[in-house]
Amino acid sequence: MKYTSAEAAKLIKSLNEQRSALATEIIKKSTFPAAMGEDPETVRPEFNLTEALRTLDKLEERIRQVKHELNIFNATTVIPEIEMTIDQVLIYIPQLSYRKDILGEMSRRLPKERDMSPYLSSSPIVNYIYANYEIEDAKKELKEVSEKLTQVQLALDRVNSTVSFEIPD
Protein backbone atom coordinates (compact mmCIF):
# COMPACT_ATOMS: atom_id res chain seq x y z
CA MET A 1 0.00 0.00 0.00
CA LYS A 2 1.16 3.56 -0.72
CA TYR A 3 1.81 5.98 2.13
CA THR A 4 3.18 9.47 2.42
CA SER A 5 5.81 10.06 5.07
CA ALA A 6 3.22 11.84 7.22
CA GLU A 7 0.82 8.89 6.90
CA ALA A 8 3.60 6.43 7.73
CA ALA A 9 4.45 8.42 10.87
CA LYS A 10 0.79 8.28 11.94
CA LEU A 11 0.72 4.54 11.24
CA ILE A 12 3.84 4.03 13.37
CA LYS A 13 2.27 6.06 16.18
CA SER A 14 -0.92 3.99 16.00
CA LEU A 15 1.02 0.71 15.99
CA ASN A 16 3.08 1.84 18.99
CA GLU A 17 -0.12 2.76 20.85
CA GLN A 18 -1.56 -0.69 20.09
CA ARG A 19 1.68 -2.29 21.27
CA SER A 20 1.63 -0.29 24.50
CA ALA A 21 -2.03 -1.18 25.15
CA LEU A 22 -1.33 -4.87 24.52
CA ALA A 23 1.72 -4.82 26.82
CA THR A 24 -0.40 -3.19 29.55
CA GLU A 25 -3.08 -5.85 29.06
CA ILE A 26 -0.49 -8.66 29.25
CA ILE A 27 0.90 -7.28 32.51
CA LYS A 28 -2.59 -6.73 33.98
CA LYS A 29 -3.86 -10.19 33.10
CA SER A 30 -0.67 -12.00 34.11
CA THR A 31 -1.82 -11.96 37.75
CA PHE A 32 -5.19 -11.66 39.43
CA PRO A 33 -6.45 -11.35 43.00
CA ALA A 34 -8.67 -13.88 44.74
CA ALA A 35 -10.03 -13.58 48.26
CA MET A 36 -9.30 -16.19 50.90
CA GLY A 37 -11.79 -19.01 50.51
CA GLU A 38 -12.76 -17.89 47.00
CA ASP A 39 -12.27 -20.35 44.15
CA PRO A 40 -9.59 -18.68 41.94
CA GLU A 41 -11.06 -20.31 38.84
CA THR A 42 -14.28 -18.30 39.24
CA VAL A 43 -12.41 -14.97 39.05
CA ARG A 44 -9.56 -15.92 36.69
CA PRO A 45 -9.54 -13.56 33.66
CA GLU A 46 -9.21 -15.09 30.21
CA PHE A 47 -5.56 -14.97 29.26
CA ASN A 48 -3.43 -16.88 26.80
CA LEU A 49 0.20 -15.82 27.12
CA THR A 50 1.28 -17.59 23.93
CA GLU A 51 -1.43 -15.87 21.88
CA ALA A 52 -0.75 -12.48 23.48
CA LEU A 53 2.98 -12.73 22.74
CA ARG A 54 2.26 -13.84 19.17
CA THR A 55 0.09 -10.73 18.68
CA LEU A 56 2.84 -8.60 20.23
CA ASP A 57 5.39 -10.16 17.84
CA LYS A 58 3.18 -9.32 14.84
CA LEU A 59 2.79 -5.71 15.97
CA GLU A 60 6.52 -5.31 16.57
CA GLU A 61 7.34 -6.87 13.21
CA ARG A 62 4.94 -4.45 11.49
CA ILE A 63 6.51 -1.49 13.33
CA ARG A 64 9.99 -2.59 12.18
CA GLN A 65 8.76 -3.01 8.62
CA VAL A 66 7.09 0.42 8.44
CA LYS A 67 10.05 2.18 10.10
CA HIS A 68 12.47 0.43 7.74
CA GLU A 69 10.53 1.51 4.65
CA LEU A 70 10.29 5.06 6.04
CA ASN A 71 14.06 5.08 6.68
CA ILE A 72 14.74 3.95 3.11
CA PHE A 73 12.40 6.65 1.80
CA ASN A 74 14.11 9.30 3.97
CA ALA A 75 17.59 8.18 2.91
CA THR A 76 16.84 8.10 -0.82
CA THR A 77 14.31 10.87 -1.43
CA VAL A 78 15.93 14.16 -2.42
CA ILE A 79 14.06 17.40 -1.77
CA PRO A 80 14.67 19.24 -5.06
CA GLU A 81 14.62 22.83 -3.77
CA ILE A 82 17.27 22.04 -1.18
CA GLU A 83 19.22 19.29 -2.96
CA MET A 84 19.38 17.18 0.20
CA THR A 85 17.79 13.89 1.15
CA ILE A 86 15.09 13.93 3.81
CA ASP A 87 17.42 12.36 6.37
CA GLN A 88 19.99 15.10 5.70
CA VAL A 89 17.26 17.72 6.15
CA LEU A 90 16.25 16.10 9.45
CA ILE A 91 19.82 16.80 10.62
CA TYR A 92 19.99 20.23 8.97
CA ILE A 93 16.84 21.63 10.63
CA PRO A 94 18.19 21.33 14.21
CA GLN A 95 21.50 22.80 13.03
CA LEU A 96 19.68 25.82 11.60
CA SER A 97 17.58 26.13 14.78
CA TYR A 98 20.74 26.09 16.89
CA ARG A 99 22.32 28.79 14.74
CA LYS A 100 19.10 30.82 14.91
CA ASP A 101 19.16 30.66 18.74
CA ILE A 102 22.78 31.86 18.86
CA LEU A 103 22.14 34.70 16.41
CA GLY A 104 18.94 35.62 18.24
CA GLU A 105 20.86 36.10 21.46
CA MET A 106 23.63 38.02 19.69
CA SER A 107 21.17 40.31 17.90
CA ARG A 108 19.51 41.29 21.21
CA ARG A 109 22.77 42.49 22.76
CA LEU A 110 23.73 46.11 23.06
CA PRO A 111 27.09 47.26 21.66
CA LYS A 112 28.11 48.17 25.23
CA GLU A 113 26.51 46.73 28.38
CA ARG A 114 27.33 47.13 32.02
CA ASP A 115 28.79 43.93 33.48
CA MET A 116 26.34 42.85 36.17
CA SER A 117 28.29 39.76 37.24
CA PRO A 118 27.52 38.90 40.89
CA TYR A 119 31.20 38.84 41.88
CA LEU A 120 31.57 42.48 40.72
CA SER A 121 28.51 43.84 42.56
CA SER A 122 30.52 45.06 45.56
CA SER A 123 33.32 46.55 43.46
CA PRO A 124 33.40 50.34 43.02
CA ILE A 125 34.79 49.84 39.51
CA VAL A 126 32.24 49.81 36.71
CA ASN A 127 33.01 47.19 34.08
CA TYR A 128 31.49 46.98 30.64
CA ILE A 129 31.03 44.17 28.16
CA TYR A 130 31.49 45.13 24.53
CA ALA A 131 30.08 43.30 21.54
CA ASN A 132 32.93 42.02 19.38
CA TYR A 133 30.80 42.12 16.24
CA GLU A 134 28.36 44.42 14.51
CA ILE A 135 24.89 43.95 16.03
CA GLU A 136 23.31 44.75 12.66
CA ASP A 137 25.31 41.91 11.06
CA ALA A 138 23.91 39.49 13.64
CA LYS A 139 20.37 40.77 12.93
CA LYS A 140 20.91 40.34 9.18
CA GLU A 141 22.27 36.80 9.65
CA LEU A 142 19.36 35.97 11.98
CA LYS A 143 16.87 37.07 9.34
CA GLU A 144 18.61 34.96 6.67
CA VAL A 145 18.82 31.86 8.88
CA SER A 146 15.17 32.25 9.93
CA GLU A 147 14.08 32.50 6.29
CA LYS A 148 16.23 29.50 5.34
CA LEU A 149 14.79 27.46 8.22
CA THR A 150 11.24 28.30 7.14
CA GLN A 151 12.06 27.43 3.51
CA VAL A 152 13.57 24.07 4.51
CA GLN A 153 10.68 23.20 6.84
CA LEU A 154 8.09 24.04 4.18
CA ALA A 155 9.93 21.99 1.56
CA LEU A 156 10.11 19.03 3.95
CA ASP A 157 6.41 19.38 4.82
CA ARG A 158 5.55 19.47 1.12
CA VAL A 159 7.44 16.24 0.39
CA ASN A 160 6.16 14.53 3.55
CA SER A 161 2.56 15.22 2.59
CA THR A 162 2.68 14.65 -1.19
CA VAL A 163 5.31 12.05 -2.13
CA SER A 164 4.29 8.48 -1.42
CA PHE A 165 6.15 5.20 -1.15
CA GLU A 166 5.21 1.55 -0.89
CA ILE A 167 4.87 -0.25 2.44
CA PRO A 168 4.00 -3.93 1.97
CA ASP A 169 1.02 -5.19 3.96
Please state, as a whole number, how many other Cβ atoms lie within 10 Å of the Cβ of residue 165. Answer: 17
Q: Return the biggest CA–CA distance within the chain.
A: 85
Would you say residue 168 lies in a domain?
A: no
Question: Cα(142)–Cα(104) distance, rounded to whole angstroms?
Answer: 6
- Same domain for 155 and 115: yes
Q: pTM for the whole thing? A: 0.81
- Same domain for 59 and 108: no
Mean pLDDT of 123-140: 91
Query: pLDDT per residue over 54-90, tens digit each?
Result: 999 999 999 999 999 999 999 999 999 999 999 999 9
Would you say residue 118 lies in a domain?
A: yes
Would you say residue 169 lies in a domain?
A: no
Mean pLDDT of 91-111: 98
